[in-house]
Amino acid sequence: MSASYPLMRIPVVQAPPMVEEHLSGAEREALKERIKALMRAQDAVLLAHYYTSADLQDLAEETGGCVSDSLEMARFGHAHAARTIVVAGVRFMGETAKILNPEKRVLMIDAAAECSLDLNCPAESFIPFCDAHPDRTVVVYSNTSAAVKARADWVVTSGIAAKIVRHLHERGEKILWAPDRHLGRYVQRVSGADMLLWEGSCVVHEAFRADALKDLMARHPEAAVLVHPESPEAVIELADVVGSTTQLIDAVRTLPNRSFIVATDNGIFHKMRATAPGKLILEAPTVGEGATCTSCAHCPWMAMNGLRKLAQVLEGGAGEVRIDEAVRVKAVRSITRMLDFAAAERRRAA
Ligand code: SF4
């Protein structure tokens, strides 16, 4: 069974207008050289999420950083010797990096880059909700603030959420899940767990439409359909593969299909095309051009990251992530549970 929390407690999130960085070739090269010199001088490593611009992803790889999902970004930063971590992504990613790397300086390219899931789930509403359901194990998605992670028993990523919830269900535990309702329903369906769901959503994934997707599938019957589980249930039902960003990239690389329809932020296409050159990557339809779509398959907060701002941050030192130590210590416990679970899974599979 699953149940939902009354919608009225969920803040309405207004996504910012989409403003993407446009650079000439000469500007791009000059900025990259300036940034590389600043990074060397400050012993910095760049961690870029798959949804950021191709320029940032390329720069991260050219300078020995990483392009990945939020958890791998934090893990990579932890293992790397650099004393400064620069995060190209959104606020919860910077916080996760700082939670796992308290001894390092963590900088965000734009400290105002948010996530609708994080904004949908403010700690001041979420903590009393948890307190009202003491019989439930609190499982939160990584797209949450440090304060929400600190209240949770477990933090999970989309790649491991179903496995952890199934494990808890088999131990007889009932779940309180936050913040993404679509991912929560998907996890409930595949795990069979008793889950009470917070009603948050991602502005990007919620815009994918099943009817339009069926039309595109009819025009490309050979294409495999890859869907991130933050998408609506009707879209997930049409998928050949449902998975995290990393799992969807792996699917493009390993499946024999020559074409793919992808329902997630189109920033990921840069890595998919580099991973599987020659394969056709098509964007799953959203509510469409000229309609009320606020994201149209690209996150407006991720688009706030760019090379110009990165140079400014390194020159001015703005955007440093700071977390109250008591909050950090609690948050690291719930993240560590997931990391230990994932490590045990890998050992079992070996
Ligand atoms: S794409 Fe969605 S889940 Fe990811 S950062 Fe943007 S709003 Fe958050």
Digit-coded pLDDT (tens) for 137-149: 999 999 999 999 9
| Distance of alpha carbon 106 from alpha carbon 128, whole angstroms | 30
C-beta of 86 in contact with ligand 1 (< 6 A): no
| Distance of alpha carbon 69 from alpha carbon 31, whole angstroms | 25
Q: Where are the beta strands (DSSP E) in 128-242?
A: 136-141, 154-156, 174-178, 195-197, 224-227, 241-242
- Residue 290 pLDDT greater than 70, yes or no: no
C-beta of 204 in contact with ligand 1 (< 6 A): yes
Q: What is the pLDDT of residues 70-89, one digit of tens each?
A: 888 988 998 999 999 999 99
Output the six-digit token pair for 65.
Answer: 């950083």
Output the six-digit token pair for 48.
Answer: 């870029």
Output the six-digit token pair for 256.
Answer: 């024999």
Which pLDDT value is given to residue 15? 87
Rounded to the nearest angstrom, the distance between the alpha carbon of 158 and the centre of ligand 1 is: 13
Partnered with residue 86 across adjacent β-strands are 46, 107
Contact criterion met (CB below 8 Å) for 323 and 92: no
Rounded to the nearest angstrom, the distance between the alpha carbon of 231 and the centre of ligand 1 is: 11
Contacts of 178 (CB under 8 A, 6+ apart): 121, 126, 138, 139, 140, 141, 144, 148, 184, 197, 198, 200
Contacts of 59 (CB under 8 A, 6+ apart): 32, 35, 36, 46, 48, 65, 307, 310
**pLDDT, mean of residues 46-50:** 98
- Confidence class for position 7, pLDDT limits 50, 70, 90: very low
Which residue has the least CA distance to atom 4 on ligand 1? 115
Catalogue all structural domains in the chain, each as residue range(s) with its CATH number. Answer: 2-11+117-203+328-349 (3.40.50.10800), 25-113+302-322 (3.40.50.10800), 205-283 (3.40.50.10800)
Rounded to the nearest angstrom, the distance between the alpha carbon of 261 and the centre of ligand 1 is: 19
Pocket test for ligand 1, best of 142, 183, 302, 304 (most atoms within 8 A of CB): 302
Which pLDDT value is given to residue 3? 54
Across 333-350, b (16+ Cβ under 10 Å) vs e yields ebbebbbebbeeeeeeee
Pocket test for ligand 1, best of 68, 70, 109, 202 (most atoms within 8 A of CB): 202
| Distance of alpha carbon 99 from alpha carbon 161, whole angstroms | 20
Output the six-digit token pair for 288.
Answer: 């469409």
Which residue has the least CA distance to atom 3 on ligand 1? 202
Rounded to the nearest angstrom, the distance between the alpha carbon of 30 and the centre of ligand 1 is: 30
The mean pLDDT of the chain is: 94
Pocket test for ligand 1, best of 52, 90, 96, 201 (most atoms within 8 A of CB): 90
C-beta of 301 in contact with ligand 1 (< 6 A): yes
3-state secondary structure (DSSP) of residue 140: strand
